[in-house]
Amino acid sequence: MVLLFLCPGVNPVGWSRELAALMPELELRIWPEVGDVTQIDAALVWQPPPGELQRLPGLRLIQCLGMGVDGLLADSTLPPVPVARMFDPGIVTQMAEYVCEAVLYHHRRLADYAALQRERRWQRLPWQDTVRRRVGILGLGEIGAHTARQVQRFGFAVAGWSRSPKVLEYVAGFYGDDTLPAFLQRTDILVCLLPLTPTTRDILGARELALLPAGACVINCARGEHLVEADLLAALDSGHLAGATLDVFRQEPLPPDHPFWTHPKIRVTPHVAGLTHPRTAAPLVVENLRRLQAGEPLLHRVDRVRGY
Ligand code: GLV
């Protein structure tokens, strides 16, 4: 079995080590040193240069390094080979960690306290009871479901919205487009963890943000394209929304002159909420290679029409 590591900019050292430990017989080639292209069975990819996968005539599996496959599926040169997305339990815990911190940050008004500290002002701001603070999680896949659980453990009133019905005992469930307005109306802290598909692109625009209660906050750690950036700025500047924590952007890296960098109500992080780590992610890659060899169904195979 020959696997091509086709992830420009990603350090292959940890991957070589973890894959060799789990599958010693695997031959790993690191792009751009592809060797004889006819020998390559599978590719582990992240943002592959368009056209590169087309050069591999024997390719039988495209394993995405990330949990989101939107970028890969948007590539019109992608060959008609089965695509599997990443399932990394490490990303799931990292994302929950990021969201819990952001929820607590907004809930406990830490931005306001930081501003008061800069002015050397000792002032207590009104506190809202945790059980009355309504957190809403958009997307109840592996990441959303686990994150909802962790947020709920602090005592917040947690609801989740997803396109298809998902029953989670610790989350008030809203399913389908018709329920989105009611979900937004009951949400003080909104967390976006959706996959990016044609139906979720721009899902958070002026109309949706207006449905959030006054003083609500937005946390986006899914994809920049979920959020209409100008509409978020308008909702913050009008005073309708109180703050936002953003890890993802329509253009990454976020351009130096982008208003988000300096906006007093926005916290920016550089797409770090959940990063694939070879120690926790290599087992899935190896399992899918084993399944490929044995002719068994792949794990986390992507439905190209659905988009995830
Ligand atoms: C990161 O954004 C990923 O899709 O894993």
Name, in order, each residue with C-beta under 8 angstroms of 57's C-beta and a sequence gap of 6 or more.
Answer: 37, 38
Q: Where are the alpha helices (DSSP H) in the chain?
A: 13-22, 70-73, 89-107, 110-118, 142-152, 180-185, 206-211, 229-237, 278-294
Per-residue confidence band for 192, with pLDDT thresholds at 50, 70 and 90: very high
Q: Around 19, how many Cα atoms within 13 Å sit in the side-chain half-sphere?
A: 23
User: Which residues, including other chains, have CB under 8 Å from residue 152's CB and lie 6 or more apart?
Assistant: 158, 170, 171
Alpha-carbon distances of 136 from 145, 157, 263, rounded to whole Å: 12, 8, 24
Q: Quick one: tokens of 288?
A: 């899918």
| CA-closest candidate to residue 134, choices 160, 164, 102, 165 | 160
Given pLDDT bands bounded at 50, 70 and 90, which one contains residue 167? confident
Dist. CA 229–CA 206, nearest whole Å: 10
Specify the DSSP element, H or E, that contains 267: strand 266-268
Which pair of structure tokens corresponds to residue 294? 């044995």
State the average pLDDT over residues 176-188: 97
Q: Report the candidate in 276, 273, 237 with the shortest Cα–Cα distance to residue 252.
A: 273
At residue 284 the predicted structure's pLDDT band, cuts being 50, 70 and 90, is very high
- Residue 33 binned pLDDT confidence (cut-offs 50, 70, 90): very high
pLDDT digits (tens, 9 = 90+) for 81-131: 999 999 999 999 999 999 999 999 999 999 999 999 999 999 999 989 999
As a whole number, mean pLDDT of residues 142-148 equals 97
Ligand 1 center to residue 32 CA distance, Å?
22
Comparison of pLDDT for 163 and 179, the residue scoring more: 179
**CA neighbor of 3 nearest in space, from 66, 72, 50, 56:** 56
More confident site: 292 or 170: 292
Res. 16: pLDDT tops 90:
yes
Say how many Å lie between the CA of residue 253 and the centre of ligand 1. 14
Give the CA distances from residue 96 to residues 82, 91, 113, 160, 287, in Å, rounded to whole numbers and listed in that order: 29, 9, 24, 14, 25
According to the model, what pLDDT value does residue 29 have?
98
Annotated active-site residue 107? The verdict is: no
Is the peptide bond preceding residue 255 cis, with omega within 30 degrees of 0? no
Tell me: cis bond preceding 270? Omega within 30 of 0 counts: no
Token pair in block for residue 73: 């599926």
Instruction: Assess whether 106 carries a catalytic annotation.
Output: no
> What is the model's pLDDT at position 251?
98
Evaluate whether 53 touches 82 at the Cβ level (below 8 Å). Answer: no
Question: Is the pLDDT reported for residue 22 higher than 90?
Answer: yes
Pull the structure tokens for residue 251. 């253009």
Mean pLDDT across 186-203: 97
Atom 5 in ligand 1: residue holding the nearest Cα: 66
With the most atoms of ligand 1 within 8 angstroms of its CB, the residue from 221, 276, 277 to mutate is 276
Which residues have C-beta within 8 Å of that of residue 73, sequence separation ≥ 6? 83, 302, 304, 307
Neighbours of 161 (CB within 10 A): 28
Give the active site residue among 271, 277, 291, 304: 271
Residue whose CA is closest, atom 3 of ligand 1? 66
Q: What is the DSSP letter of 296?
A: P
Distance 87 CA to ligand 1 centre (A): 10
Amino acid 173: pLDDT = 93
